């Protein structure tokens, strides 16, 4: 999943690598975090923190 942030950057989930990265409008990586599960969805909170969650498993 990719989200465009208010600053023009993009928050990108890279599931296979278990990473969430922020790319500037010029393509430079400005933030990167490795997550414990699959990086499925991420949002940037108003306080500047980044929240990521794995996909839901339906049974």
Can you give the pLDDT at residue 27? Answer: 97
Q: What is the pTM of this model?
A: 0.82
3-state secondary structure of 30: strand
What's the pLDDT tens digit per position in 8-45?
999 999 988 999 999 999 999 999 999 888 888 899 99
Query: Domain limits of the chain?
Result: 2-53
Can you give the pLDDT at residue 52? Answer: 87
Q: Are 22 and 12 in contact (CB under 8 A)?
A: yes
- Where residue 48 falls (left for φ over 0; alpha for ψ -120 to 50; beta otherwise) is left
Can you give the pLDDT at residue 37? Answer: 81
Q: Are 10 and 2 in contact (CB under 8 A)?
A: yes
Q: Where are the alpha helices (DSSP H) in the chain?
A: none
Can you give the pLDDT at residue 57? Answer: 57
Rounded distance, CA 7 to CA 36, Å? 27
């Amino acid at each position: 999943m990719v989200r465009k942030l208010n600053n023009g950057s993009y928050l990108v989930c890279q599931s296979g690598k278990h990473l969430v990265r922020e790319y500037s409008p010029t393509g430079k990586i400005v933030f990167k975090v490795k997550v414990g599960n699959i990086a499925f969805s991420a949002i940037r909170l108003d306080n500047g923190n980044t929240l990521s969650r794995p996909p839901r498993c339906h049974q």
